[in-house]
Amino acid sequence: MRRLRALTLVAAVGTALALSACGGGGDDETTGDAGVKAVSAPGCGGVEYGGDGQADALIVSDLPLLGDSKERSAQMNDAIRDVLDEAGWKAGNTSVAFQVCDDSIAKTGLWDEARCRQNAQAYAADADVIGVIGTYNSGCAEIEVPILNRAPGGGLAMVSPGNTLICLTEKASGCLNGEPASLYPSGTRNYARVIPNDAYQGAGLATFAKNRGLRKVYILYAGGDPTSLGQARTFRGAAGPLGIEIAGFQSWDTGAKSYTDLMQAAKKTQPDAVLLAGLIEQHGADLIKDKVAVLGPNNGQVKLLAPDGFAQQATIDDTGPAAAGMYASVPGRVPDSLTGPGKTLVGTLTDQAGGEPVELFAPYAGQAAQVLLDSVSDGGTKRGAVVKALFATKVSNGITGSFRILPSGDPSLGPITVSVAKKAFEPSSVILPPSSLLDAARHG
């Protein structure tokens, strides 16, 4: 169980916490002692504030709080709160309150286009909101970034702990609708992330496959999901220069009840491995079970690889023994490998989670919060000044290491960690792909 903090809330403590947990209705009333106006959107809970006096500004998190993402996002929000606690709920001379918002819906348990749009519009309209931590899903970011880019006051700073789609920041094969330039109609970028993009992940996974002696990989990606297709393409692009043959390149129907036929088709090509590019929420557990049923266990002749959409405890919990031995990559480093401030935060999160594994993206949510607080420290309560400060960010010995924010919005350092599924995901390899392989991944 997560520890409770002494917080000033919009409404009664129980009501506000319930709203934060389930994505209930927002509160458009002025927030009493907190001193800021709560974002009014159905996915937003109560304002939280643990500092002295009244808050001067509000930051929000925008994450999927339902379905298989529930535990991951809960830990990410805990990490943000921990960073706020450590900072005394201040960024320089600015006192900062926090509000949790949900971009998923109960019907699907997934992020929702309409909810993402509604949330972003509400953030832009609330003058107290000085920055956004999120999103996790890149498709949601594609909706929110241009809305926040046009927000009054010079745009709203957005720092993601989870987006990996290349096209949010860089040109790549498969980018649609003029991305990334079309995401920034003001001409000034307002979006940054603290994890490397999918070029690193595709190149890193392909390097891992090469190092493991895998010469023939069958690629499956979630149908109708541009992010999943992008991840599949980056692996394909990096595989070529490494001499890895692509045995097949096929989408899976995210509404199907069985994937046995799909795995039988893969089996006919005699692959060394199957790659699943997508999310565990997109019937990923059924895919893994059918892969094992048809092609054997993941530690057997045919390995199972996946990018970060499967790199969470829900994959192991939902799939059971079938997940054992599968490899999943995560952009950056896993919690157990962090040092200094990162190790301290992981220890706190472990205590809050009652000893359960710390989700791989939770420390990156804490890092995103720290980057945003540092930007507010320099920019104060002026939105445009916070955006400008964001792109001057240089982090030394931060939660996830040392890096700077590049003009694209990407971090300057991009290791990839590949972990193996046991009782939890345990790190297997840390890979920093060469620039030549990153270029190949971008144009897969």
Listed in sequence order, the DSSP H helices in 240-279 are: 260-268
- Give the pLDDT of residue 197: 93
The pLDDT, as a whole number, for residue 68 is 87
Same domain, 117 and 25: yes
What per-residue confidence (pLDDT) applies to 349?
Answer: 97
Is residue 82 included in any domain, yes or no? Answer: yes
Specify if 409 maps to a domain: no
159 & 223 share domain? no
Clarify whether residues 202 and 300 are in a common domain.
yes
C-alpha to C-alpha distance for 384 and 401, rounded to whole angstroms: 27
Please name which of 269, 349, 279 lies closest in space to residue 85, comparing C-alpha atoms. Answer: 349
Claim to verify: residue 15 and residue 149 sit in the same structural domain: yes
**pLDDT at residue 33 in the model:** 63
Q: Give the closest residue to 279 by CA, choosing from 304, 242, 309, 244.
A: 309
Residues 202 and 188 in one domain: no
Contact 39, 58 (CB under 8 A): yes
Residue 113 domain flag: yes
Residue 3 domain flag = no
Residue 131 is part of a domain; what is its CATH number?
Answer: 3.40.50.2300
The answer to whether the peptide bond before residue 42 is cis (omega within 30 degrees of 0) is: no
* 258 and 208 both lie in a single domain: yes
Domain check: are 146 and 263 in the same one? no
Q: What is the pLDDT along the chain (444 residues), one digit of tens a residue?
A: 333 333 444 433 333 333 333 333 444 443 446 789 999 999 999 999 999 999 999 999 999 999 988 999 999 999 999 999 999 999 999 999 999 999 999 999 999 999 999 999 999 999 999 999 999 999 999 999 999 999 999 999 999 999 999 999 999 988 989 999 999 999 999 999 999 999 999 999 999 999 999 999 999 999 999 889 999 999 999 999 999 999 999 999 999 999 999 999 999 999 999 999 999 999 999 999 999 999 999 999 999 999 999 998 999 999 999 999 999 998 999 999 999 999 999 999 999 999 889 998 999 999 999 999 999 999 999 999 999 999 999 999 999 999 999 999 999 988 999 999 999 999 999 999 999 999 999 998
Total-model pTM: 0.85
Quote the CA–CA distance of 74 and 100 in Å, as a whole number.
10
Residue 2 covered by a domain: no
Residues 249 and 165 in one domain: no
**8 A C-beta contact, residue 22 and residue 42:** no
Q: Which of 142, 136, 111 is nearest to 195 (CA)?
A: 136
CA distance 349 to 362: 8
In a domain, 1, yes or no: no
Residue 365: domain span: 8-196+336-404
Same domain, 168 and 38: yes
Give ∠ CA 78-82-88 in degrees, rounded to 5.
Answer: 140
291 domain-assigned: yes
Residues 123, 94, single domain; the answer is yes
**Does residue 89 share a domain with residue 188?**
yes
Residues 164 and 211 in one domain: no
Structural domains counted in the chain: 2
The DSSP bridge pattern shows strands 90-91 and 8-9 to be: unpaired
HEC sequence for 103-164: CECCCCCCECHHHHHHHHHHHHHCCCEEEEEECCCHHHHHHHHHHHHCCCCCCCEEEECCCC
Sort 20 into a burial class: Cβ within 10 Å, 0-12 / 13-18 / 19+: buried
